[in-house]
Amino acid sequence: MATYSKHDFSASTDGKGIAIAATATAGTLIHEASATATTYDEVWIYATNTHTADEILVLEWGVAGSGPANYIYVTIPTKAGLVLVVPGLILQGNATELLVNGFNTGGASGRINVFGYVNRITA
């Protein structure tokens, strides 16, 4: 029988938000998934934009620096509150931990903050 447990992001301190400092690949680390093949991380990410104009968040899904095939682009409106960016997408455990990183293509550090959690499912 599978077990479920809720976790904060591996790069979060006590569930607090993570400031996206990177402006290009490899992005700021958000989460490092399990290295166990029978473990799945269901990832939920919300973002907020503290700047006075819209910003573009690029998530590197599964591996940093691998290019557009693994990018998720999301425009985060200015001061719109929390915007759902990743609605429970799955990362399966791998011998090498799969990463979720993010960067702001607008070229400015610290304008986007991400929050969220992981539902860890183990078989």
* Chain segment 2-47, per-residue pLDDT in tens: 899 999 999 999 999 999 999 999 999 999 999 999 999 999 999 9
pLDDT, residue 114, reads: 98
pLDDT, residue 116, reads: 98
72 beta partners: 59
pLDDT, residue 69, reads: 84
pLDDT, residue 11, reads: 96
pLDDT, one tens digit per residue, over 46-61 is 999 999 999 999 999 9
pTM check: above 0.85: yes
Count CA atoms within 13 Å of residue 93 on its CB side: 12
81: number of Cβ within 10 Å: 8
117: number of Cβ within 10 Å: 17
**Is there a contact between 39 and 122 (Cβ–Cβ < 8 Å)?**
yes
122: phi > 0 → left, psi -120 to 50 → alpha, else beta; which?
beta
| Mean pLDDT, the chain, whole residue set | 93
Residue showing tokens 């990177």: 22
Mean pLDDT of 85-91: 96
